[in-house]
A and B are shown apart, each in its own frame.
Chain A
Amino acid sequence: MPYTFLDHTADLGVAISGECMEELFQSCVDALRDWSFSEVGNGTLVHNIELSAESEMELWFKFLNEIVFFMDKNEAPTHVTLKEYHLGAVCYLRAELTVVPDSKRKQDIKAFTLHDFGFQMQLVFDV
């Protein structure tokens, strides 16, 4: 399993792993979907996501909160394709996020919270 749910007193912690950056992103998508949705419907929708930030952490913060925003509309994330990922003075990400609309949620994730991480990450979500 590329992710593990962690104990956190009030929120939800997730440790994710992957062989490359795209796998890390996909692990996040899988964890979020599996935690939040009891039923994934039919039909797909693709969201083009383009984000820039001053640090890698901020970039992830923005990306994960984009997913949370779509999940709040009952769109279950299923797949992410990383088109561009640059780190530097300006960090930049372009990706396609595939979601399944009208899916049924079992748990609310309301926001991704800031947390320190490396290539193997621990994420904390407000639930």
Chain B
Amino acid sequence: MASSPLWNKRDEYIYEIPKGTREGMNVPGVIFGSEEIVRQAESDKALEQVINVATLPGILNYSMAMPDIHWGYGFPIGGVAAFDIDNGVITPGGIGFDINCGVRLLSTPMDEEELRPKLLSLLNALFMEVPSGVGSQGFLKLRGKELNGVLEKGAMWAVENGFGYDSDLSGIESQGHMDGADSEKVSSKAKERGSDQLGTLGSGNHFLEVQVVRHIYDQTIAEQWGLHVNQVVIMLHTGSRGLGHQVATDYIDVMLRASKKYGIKLVDKQLAAAPFKSEEGQNYWSAMQCASNYAWANRQIITHYVRNALNKVFGKDVGEQTRVVYDVAHNIAKVEKHQVREGLNLDVLVHRKGATRSFPAGHDALAGVFKETGQPVIIPGSMGTSSYLLVGMRKSMEMSFGSTCHGAGRVMSRKEAVRRGDYNVLISHLNEQGILLKSTDRETALEEAPEAYKNVDEVVDVVEKVGLNKKVAQMCPMGVVKG
């Protein structure tokens, strides 16, 4: 039964926008969510963006959105779309400005009881070791060949230069680097912005969070990933900093001209695109991979700084015994093999914009323990709420091009969050839950208050009920470092 002119309920937690809803749609839209989530998305232009994406050339099967959907740039945040690599396009609007913004989870050898007495010392040490905040500059200043090395090798560059261990790389999506990165496709302006920001957290919704594993849903998988109840873990969220933003800015300009050149009819200029196989498309593809590699190197270097902070507060072994559980990208495009329809497996270009890869057990792209269990999917909540560790399930390959949600998703503008919030109330609310906050700026903290986000429990319930993921663990915050 149609509940609105735009969408129909197709199944429990699956809503469809039929292909004919707007002229030019090449495929239907699909939103994974509850009715409340879909109605919320309708109120802030996000559903319109799902429709817009459906008009892009070469899109396959569906223009999709995950339950953390909200209004974004071009694609909605939480948007996923796969394109035919021969006849389809690549668009910066489907990847975002903060290319390979992502989340990494580290497991420490400590339990909550051991760590809590020194929690404040740890937060202070993290604050000192990891540069954060607006315009933060890192301890590294890289130019020329060194910066090009980061752009082309990603996390591997960081490990080769003493920031972490070889074993860290196996816990990173794509082992922390993409092969097609050519640093010559990145402008000097982007390199200038990136030259002193490596190993920095940044500001906005980026954070470092000390968490405790509160609940395990799948004991077997949790053990295989080295996790147990009461264990302290550290989650970090950041991306490719100014470099990634400049790459996006540079190539949006290129894509606007390419759209005209190749006759791509745009219903929204934010979706400016080029055929994937065109010169413009391939140049952006290569530059985007450079920015993705920069982001992985950034998170790898921050991991090294986190280990330093742990060593300073608890002694040397603690940092060294802290492992990378997994690292996922949220804003990225990748060429992956998918079954487009019965009997037809193709290499396709999957755009994930505020969405996470979610490969199941046995997938060829996974190795080691993850091939056995499926890929970890890290879902951060908002400050003061739970985060989740999920595992990719087979249905994500059948329904969403191996993709799932990436977080809670905003429901309130930053301006409104600041207008409605009170810093002292926020701090006392967090303290009542035993959570400490260390922030460079009161306004930024208010912008990221829990009230500004959807209920992450509901978002995670949707992807589990649909069958894209299964819950493995729930983590609760103990301390938060905000840029």
Contacts and interface: CB of A to CB of B under 8 A. Distances in A.
A and B associate in one complex: yes
A61 interface: yes
A106 interface: yes
Contacts of A12: 414-415
Interface stretch (A1-9, A19-27, A77-85): A1-9
A108 B440 CA distance: 13
Contact of B246 (A61, A69, A106, A115): A69
A86 to B, nearest CB: 19
A110 interface: yes
Nearest to B71: A9
A12 B77 CA distance: 15
A58 B253 contact: yes
B73 A108 contact: no
A65 interface: yes
Contacts of A15: none
Interface in B398-447: 410-416, 441, 443-444
B272 interface: yes
Q: How large is the interface on A (under 10, 10 to 19, 20 to 34, 35 or more residues)?
A: 20 to 34
Contact of A7 (B242, B256, B413): B413
A114 B272 contact: yes
Most buried by B among A10, A65, A106: A10
A9 B269 contact: no
B54 interface: no
Contacts of B257: 54
Interface in A59-76: 61-62, 65, 68-69, 72, 74
A107 B270 contact: no
A113 interface: yes
B194 to A, nearest CB: 10
Contacts of A39: none
B97 interface: yes
B71 A10 contact: yes
A11 B415 CA distance: 9
B134 A9 contact: no
B34 interface: no
Contact of B44 (A5, A9, A65, A114): A9
B413 A74 contact: no
Contacts of A36: 134
Given A7-B416, A9-B413, A108-B134, A61 B77 contact: no
B189 interface: yes
Interface string B78-91: 00000000000000
B327 interface: no
Q: How large is the interface on B (under 10, 10 to 19, 20 to 34, 35 or more residues)?
A: 35 or more
A5 B418 CA distance: 13
Most buried by B among A9, A36, A61: A9
Given A5-B415, A69-B189, A110 B97 contact: yes
B357 interface: no
Contacts of A65: 249
A115 to B, nearest CB: 8
B70 A9 contact: yes
Contacts of A53: 253
A74 B257 CA distance: 31
Interface string A100-120: 000001111011111110000
B253 A62 contact: yes
Given A65-B249, A108-B135, A72 B193 contact: yes
B109 interface: no
B334 interface: no
A108 B410 contact: no
B152 interface: no
Interface string B47-74: 0000000000000000000000011110
A127 B414 contact: yes
Given A65-B249, A105-B135, A116-B269, A110 B242 contact: yes
Most buried by B among A5, A12, A57, A113: A113
Contacts of A69: 189, 193, 246
Given A10-B70, A113-B270, A114-B252, A108 B202 contact: yes
A78 to B, nearest CB: 18
Given A53-B253, A106-B443, 17 more contacts: A7-B415, A10-B413, A36-B134, A54-B256, A54-B260, A57-B269, A58-B253, A61-B252, A61-B253, A62-B253, A106-B134, A108-B134, A108-B204, A111-B245, A115-B270, A124-B73, A126-B73
27 contacts: A5-B415, A7-B413, A8-B71, A8-B415, A9-B70, A9-B413, A12-B414, A12-B415, A54-B260, A69-B189, A69-B193, A72-B135, A74-B135, A105-B135, A107-B134, A107-B203, A107-B443, A108-B202, A110-B242, A111-B246, A112-B249, A113-B73, A113-B270, A114-B269, A114-B272, A115-B270, A126-B97
Interface of B: 44, 70-73, 77, 97-98, 134-135, 189, 193, 202-204, 242, 245-246, 248-249, 252-253, 256-257, 260, 269-270, 272, 410-416, 441, 443-444
